[in-house]
């Protein structure tokens, strides 16, 4: 476990921690971008799948429960809400990466 505690039930993970622990180490996980398809098309974190917050409850079955789930959005508000929804649905290892704004600000990779 890493990062701080976010809203009740899920953990926060900082961009550099996520990159080192999951991207660089190629550790099994699912990275979910909960922004709109239009926002996703403008640029996303490599390896992410896009399930907008509005569609999360209907499409949650696309996210495996047997590995960590990391969620992010633009600024961190939608990802916190999404993380709570996933925890309520029985996902046990959910991390909130916050927003892509911080990711970009730190010079981390984005796919366009």
Q: Does domain 11-105 have CATH number 3.10.450.50?
A: no
DSSP H/E element including 95: strand 94-99
Question: What's the predicted TM-score (pTM) here?
Answer: 0.92
Mean pLDDT across the chain = 93
Domain ranges of the chain: 11-105
Residues marked active site are found at 73
Q: Are 102 and 15 in contact (CB under 8 A)?
A: yes
CA 9 → CA 49, 82, 111, distances in Å?
22, 12, 30
Query: What pLDDT digit, counting tens, does each position of 31-86 carry?
Result: 999 999 999 999 999 999 999 999 999 999 999 999 999 999 999 999 999 999 99
């Amino acid at each position: 476990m890493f990062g701080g505690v976010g809203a009740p039930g899920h953990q926060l993970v900082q961009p550099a921690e996520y990159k080192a622990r999951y991207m660089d180490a190629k550790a099994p996980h699912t990275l979910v971008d909960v922004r709109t398809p239009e926002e996703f098309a403008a640029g996303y974190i490599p390896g992410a799948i896009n399930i907008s917050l509005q569609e999360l409850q209907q499409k949650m079955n696309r996210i495996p429960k047997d590995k960590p789930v990391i969620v992010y959005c633009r600024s961190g508000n939608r990802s916190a809400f999404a993380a709570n929804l996933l925890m309520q649905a029985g996902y046990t290892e959910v991390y909130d990466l916050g927003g892509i704004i911080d990711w970009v600000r730190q010079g981390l990779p984005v796919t366009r």
